Structure 1
Amino acid sequence: MPVLARSSVALLALGLAVVFAPDAHALSKRDQAAVDALNQRMQAAETRYRQGLVAIANADPAGRTEVDASLEDMEDVMAACVKQKGCSPTTMLTAYKRLLKQNADVAAGDEVPEDNDDEGPGSVTADVPEAARAAALLSADGQQFVKMVQYNPAVQAGIRRWLTDMRPALIDSFENYQYMRQLMWPQFQRAGLPEALLFGVMAKESNGRVHSTSRAGAAGPMQFMYSTGRRFGLGEDGTGFDTRYDARASAQAAAEYFNERLGQLNRSIELSLAAYNGGEGRAQRVYGSTGGRNFWDESVYNQFPAETRDYVPMVIAAAWLFLHPKEYGLTLPKVDAHPAMLRLSKPSSIYELTICLGNGGTREGFMRALRNLNPRYEADRYLPTGTTLNATTKIVGLYGRYCVQGQRADLAHTLVISDASSAIVRTGPVTPLPSDDAVYEAESAGTGSAGAPAPSAPKARAKPSRPTSYTVKRGETLTAIAQKFQCDTGDLARANKLKAPRYSIKPGQKLKLKGCEG
C-alpha cells in the first residue's frame, strides 16, 4: 500500500482509537510489560525510518525498503496499542505525527532537529516524495496548484484534448516523469513550487523526452532556448554535453525561472507560463501596460500570440489531470521507478540493453527510461565494461538475468552489430554500363571506311577513388555511417561540426568523410 494511503488509514484509525480508548488505571505487571514493549517497538521503528531516509539520501536503493518496512512496523504497533489495555493511542499518534511533521519541516527547508544530525536538508521529500504527501495531510495544503490557477472553459477544453487525441501523449509523459521524478521534483519542492506545475510544463513541452529538440532550438525536457538556459546555468559543461538535456539541471533552472517570473508578475501562474512560452519581455510589458490584470482579461489575453493562448490552458489542463485523474476516469500506469545504479559487466550500448532487458511488464520497454536517465550517452554508442548507468532496481535485476550471458544476451548483441549493407551479395567484378551520353556520342560518330566500328585504344582501368562526402539516408545514424566508411565517430563529428552527445543528422544532409578509409 502506498505511504500516503497507509498514513491516511493509520491516522483515521488512531483518531477513532483516541475517542474509544479505555482508561488506563492500575495495570498488572503483564499489561505494563506489554505497553513498554510497544513503546520500544515504536521507538525502534522510528529509528529504522530515519536510517532508511539517510540511506536514500546516499542513493542506496535498500533505503526505500527500510522506509516502507518501518512504516508498516509503526502501523502494526498502533493497531496493537488500540487492543492493549493501558496503551495510549494518543501518545502513539503524537509520535507518528511528529515524525511526519518533522519530514514536512525538512522539506520546507527548516533546520534539522539536533537529534537528527545525519539527515541532509531536503533529503526526505527529495527522495521520498510520498512521505511529504503524507505530511501534507497534517498541513492541509495539498492543493497548492489548484488555489493558484483559474479553472475555466479554456482549461476544460485543454482537458478534453488531453483525454482524447492527446491521451497517449499524456500517458507517455506520466510514465517518463515517474522515472525522472526523483531528479526533477526535489528542485521544484525546494523552490516552494507545486509538482503539478512541473508535470504540466514538461508534458506540454517534451512529453518527458529528455533529448527533445524543437525547430526553434529549444532543448531538453523543459525546452530551454540556449540564451535563456545560459542565464539559469544551463549549456555546455566543458565536455561537449549540453546540460539543457539533464533532467535535474533543467528542472532546477525551470524552478528558478518560474520563481523569478512569479515575483515580477504578481504570483500569476498563467502570466508566468505565458512568459515561459511567449517571452518574458512581452509578458512584462503586457502586465505593466494593463495595470496588472490577469491573463484571462481580454486586454491581456489578446496581446499574446495564438500559440501562447493555447499553451497556457494546455499546461494547466495537464497539471489538473495530474492532480485529479480519477475524476476523469483516467488510470495512470504504475511505474516501478525505484532508482539504482547499473554497472556494466561487459561492453554494451543502450540499444543492446533495451533488447536484452525485454519489456519487463511495461508497455514499451526501458529504452526511454535509460535514455532519459543517462542523457550523455547516445543510444548506439558502445560503453566499456565498468560503465555505471542510472537505472532502476527492476532494470538492474533484469540486466543480471538476461543481459550478462545467455541466449537473449547473444541475440541482442547479434542484432545490434548487424550491418544491412552486408546483405548485398557480389558474385564477381561489375562492368558498369555506358552512360546515355556515351552511347549517343558513339552512335553519332558513325562507322569506319569499311563500315565497321572504328577501333579505340585500350584504356587503363582507373583506381577507384575514396569518397570524400556522403549523403545521409533515412534512418541512418552517425555511428552507423562511421562504421560503414571505417571512420572514427568522433573525427567524423568534428569534421562536420556535430555536437556531442546527440550527433544529430538528418536525411539528405551531406557529410564530409574526413579520415575515412572508404
Structure 2
Amino acid sequence: MSVLRIRLAAALAACVLLTACAGTPSKGVKPAAGATADESEIGALYARLGEAVKRYEGSAELADAGERERAAREGNAALDDLRAAAQRCQQLPGCENERFLSAFDGLLRRDAPIATVTGEGEKPVGEDAVPEAVGEGSPVVSDLPETARSITLLKGRPLAEIIAVNEPVKAALEEWLTQYRPNLIQAYINYQYMRQLMWPEYQKAGLPEALLFGFIAKESGGKVHAVSRSGASGPLQFMYATGLRFGLTTSDGFDQRFDAALSARANAAYLNEQLRVFNNDLELVLAAYNGGEGRMGRLAGGGRARFWDPSVYGALAPETREYVPMVLAAAWLFMHPERYNLEFPRIDTRLGSVVLPRSMSLSELSICFGQEGGSRDGWFRALRNLNPAYDHQAAIAPGTRLTVPLALETAFPKTCAEGPWQTLAAELHAATVPQVAMTTGPAARGSTASRGRARYTVRKGDTLAAIARKHRCGEVREIASLNRLRAPSYAIKPGQTLQIPICSR
C-alpha cells in the first residue's frame, strides 16, 4: 500500500472525526445568533474540492507514466489542500460536509498506484498505520479494489460498531460460509453488475453499501425478477402496498419493483424513515422490513426496547429472528471477507450497450453470447437484471438499445448480430413443446384442471399477488399461467376478467 494511500485514509479519518464533532456542539458553546451561509466562500470551497480531486487523479496518471516522485509530490499537495478545504467547510454554516466525505471515498476506492518519495521500504514517521477513527480498520484502505467498498457509516457511526457480532450473527456467518456460500458468491456477482445502478441511491441517502448488499443477498440473491409466495417482488422484495408508499408504481405495464435503481431508492427511503422511528436501531428496522413496522413498533415500544431483548426477540416470528442476523452477517462479510477466508471474484462491471439489428429475445442473446468473456455461468442473469422491463422470452423490436456488460458490447457483432450462434439461438427459441391435455382422473386430483375455476373482475389497486391471497387458492404464477400474463410484470388492469382456481373440498 502506498504512503499516499495511507495519508488519504488518515485525511478521511480526520474528516470523519470533524464531521462527528460538528454534529454535537460542545456544552456551553452556542452558535452565533443569526449566522448565515457565506455562499461565495462555500462556492469557492466546492471549486477547490474539485480542483484537488483532479490534481490527485492526475498524480495517478503521472505514476503510470513512471514519474513516481513527481506523482507523490502532486498527490501530497492535493491531499493537503483537500483536507484544509474540508476543515474550513466544518466552520461554515451551510457548507455540505458530505461532499468532502464523498470525495475522499471516491479517491480511496480508486486505489491509485502512487509511489512514496522516501527510499525503498522506508515509511514516514507516524504513518505506519491508519487511525482506527474511521471505524472500519483495514477495509477502508484495503488493497482489494475489486470489492470497491464504500465508507460504511450509518448516521455518523461506523457500521462495524453498530453490528453486534453476537451468537445469532455468528451462526448466520456460519450459514453464509458453508451451505449458502455459493448463494453469497452469486449474489455478489449479480450485485456487481447492478452496483452502479443501485449504490448511488444509497450513497445519496447516506447509507452504507454493505447494508445494501446484505439486503440483496438475503432477499433475492440479486435476481431482479424474484417473486416470493406472498407476492414480494424485485431485488429488494417489496410488497405492492409498501412499494406504492415509496413511489414504486406500474408504468406502461412494468412493475417498478423490478427496477434495480428505483427499488434501491425506495429501500433507502424506507430505511431512513424507519431509522427515525426506531431511534437508529438497525436491528429493529430490519425486523420491521421483514415482519412489519406496526408489529415491531408495538413490541419495541417505538424503539425503547432493543431487538435482542428477550421480550422482543422471543415474541418474533422464527422467520424474522433468522432474517435479521442473516442480513447483518452478509453485510459484515461484504466489509470483511479477508477475515473469514472468503474471496469475492474480480469482475469487470463496466457497462455498455447494443442495438438490436433484428427482432431478438434476451434468451436468444444469452444463448449466442454463451460464456463469452470467461463467464462460467453465462450471461442470462446479468442480461435480465440490466433490462428488467423485457420478458426474457418475448421478441424485442429491432433498433432497441439494451444495456449489457461491456465485454458483450465488443463481442456482439461477431457472436449475436449475425453468424452461426445467432442462427442456433433463433432456432432453439422457435422450438415449441406439444400441449398435452390434462387428465381429470384421480391422479390429477387437486390440479388446476380438476379444481375448476372462478371469474374475478380486476378492480383499481389490485395486484396479482393480492388477488391470489384473497382467493387463497392458486399462486401468482398459476393464476398468471391461466390468464397468459407475462412475467415479470404480470400486468393487469381494472375491468379485466381473470380466471381463478377454486379450492377443492
TM-score normalised by structure 2 residue count: 0.64
8 A contact 2:52–2:81 mirrored in 1: no
Aligned-residue RMSD, C-alpha: 4.1
| Structure 2 residue 161 is matched with structure 1 residue 147 | yes
Query: Separation in 2 of the partners of 1:397 and 1:218?
Result: 36
Task: Return the match for 1:169 from 165, 183, 196.
Answer: 183
Gaps of 5+ in 1: 16-45, 52-66, 114-120, 425-468, 472-491, 505-510, 513-518
| Structure 2 residue 371 is matched with structure 1 residue 352 | no
Aligned to 2:443: none
Query: Separation in 2 of the partners of 1:104 and 1:245?
Result: 42
What letter matches 2:169 in structure 1? V
8 A contact 1:350–1:371 mirrored in 2: yes
Aligned to 1:404: 417
Aligned to 2:321: 309
Greater shift, 406-415 or 380-389, is seen at 406-415
Query: Separation in 2 of the partners of 1:48 and 1:398?
Result: 38
Aligned to 1:228: 242
| Structure 2 residue 338 is matched with structure 1 residue 338 | no
> Helix, strand or coil for the counterpart of 1:201?
helix
| Structure 2 residue 80 is matched with structure 1 residue 80 | no
Query: Separation in 2 of the partners of 1:391 and 1:182?
Result: 13
Aligned to 1:242: 255
Could you list the per-position Cα deviations for residues 38-70 of structure 1 after superposition, in whole angstroms to 9, with x for gaps in the alignment?
xxxxxxxx989859xxxxxxxxxxxxxxx98x5
Could you list the per-position Cα deviations for residues 82-132 of structure 1 after superposition, in whole angstroms to 9, with x for gaps in the alignment?
3xxxx79555412156569989999xxx9799xxxxxxx989969x97546
CA drift at 1:297:
1.4
Could you list the per-position Cα deviations for residues 202-222 of structure 1 after superposition, in whole angstroms to 9, with x for gaps in the alignment?
110100101001111100000
Identity, % of aligned positions? 41
8 A contact 1:371–1:379 mirrored in 2: yes
Aligned to 1:95: 78
Could you list the per-position Cα deviations for residues 130-172 of structure 1 after superposition, in whole angstroms to 9, with x for gaps in the alignment?
546469x898354532122211111010000011111111111
Aligned to 1:486: none
8 A contact 1:340–1:396 mirrored in 2: yes
Query: Separation in 2 of the partners of 1:214 and 1:494?
Result: 16
Query: Separation in 2 of the partners of 1:207 and 1:123?
Result: 33
8 A contact 2:187–2:222 mirrored in 1: yes
Paired residues for 1:490-509 under 5 Å:
496=483, 498=485, 501-503=488-490
Query: Separation in 2 of the partners of 1:103 and 1:93?
Result: 15
Paired residues for 1:114-193 under 5 Å:
131=107, 133=109, 140=134, 142-143=151-152, 144-193=158-207
Could you list the per-position Cα deviations for residues 182-205 of structure 1 after superposition, in whole angstroms to 9, with x for gaps in the alignment?
011111111111111110011101
Query: Separation in 2 of the partners of 1:411 and 1:75?
Result: 48
Could you list the per-position Cα deviations for residues 458-479 of structure 1 after superposition, in whole angstroms to 9, with x for gaps in the alignment?
xxxxxxxxxxx999xxxxxxxx
Could you list the per-position Cα deviations for residues 303-340 of structure 1 after superposition, in whole angstroms to 9, with x for gaps in the alignment?
21111111000100111111111111111111211022
Largest Rg, 1 or 2:
1
Aligned to 1:377: 390
Query: Separation in 2 of the partners of 1:216 and 1:274?
Result: 17
CA drift at 1:420:
3.9
8 A contact 1:218–1:224 mirrored in 2: yes
Aligned to 1:207: 221
Distance 1:100 1:328, change over 3 A: farther
Could you list the per-position Cα deviations for residues 287-313 of structure 1 after superposition, in whole angstroms to 9, with x for gaps in the alignment?
217x71221111221121111111000
Distance 1:295 1:495, change over 3 A: closer
> Helix, strand or coil for the counterpart of 1:222?
coil
Distance 1:500 1:158, change over 3 A: closer
Aligned to 1:261: 274
8 A contact 2:356–2:399 mirrored in 1: yes
Task: Return the match for 2:312 from 287, 295, 300.
Answer: 300
Distance 1:48 1:140, change over 3 A: closer
Query: Separation in 2 of the partners of 1:284 and 1:298?
Result: 15
> Helix, strand or coil for the counterpart of 1:150?
coil
Aligned to 2:29: none
CA drift at 1:235:
2.3
TM-score normalised by structure 1 residue count: 0.63
8 A contact 2:225–2:488 mirrored in 1: no
Could you list the per-position Cα deviations for residues 312-370 of structure 1 after superposition, in whole angstroms to 9, with x for gaps in the alignment?
00100111111111111111111211022221122211011001111121121111001
Distance 1:287 1:11, change over 3 A: same
Distance 1:261 1:503, change over 3 A: closer
Query: Separation in 2 of the partners of 1:162 and 1:242?
Result: 31
Aligned to 2:400: 387
Aligned to 1:35: none
Gaps of 5+ in 2: 10-49, 112-129, 136-150, 153-157, 437-447, 451-478, 492-497, 500-505
Could you list the per-position Cα deviations for residues 374-419 of structure 1 after superposition, in whole angstroms to 9, with x for gaps in the alignment?
1110111111211011112111112122111222222222221123
Query: Separation in 2 of the partners of 1:105 and 1:243?
Result: 42
What letter matches 1:393 in structure 2? L
Aligned to 2:439: none
Distance 1:167 1:191, change over 3 A: same
Distance 1:221 1:494, change over 3 A: closer
Paired residues for 1:16-31 under 5 Å:
none
Aligned to 2:300: 287
Query: Separation in 2 of the partners of 1:344 and 1:232?
Result: 34
8 A contact 2:52–2:82 mirrored in 1: no
Greater shift, 177-186 or 344-353, is seen at 344-353
Query: Separation in 1 of the partners of 2:396 and 2:101?
Result: 33
| Structure 2 residue 208 is matched with structure 1 residue 194 | yes
Query: Separation in 1 of the partners of 2:213 and 2:8?
Result: 34
8 A contact 1:125–1:132 mirrored in 2: no
Distance 1:404 1:213, change over 3 A: same
Could you list the per-position Cα deviations for residues 4-53 of structure 1 after superposition, in whole angstroms to 9, with x for gaps in the alignment?
x6xx55435999xxxxxxxxxxxxxxxxxxxxxxxxxxxxxx989859xx
| Structure 2 residue 342 is matched with structure 1 residue 320 | no
Aligned residues: 371
8 A contact 1:103–1:132 mirrored in 2: no
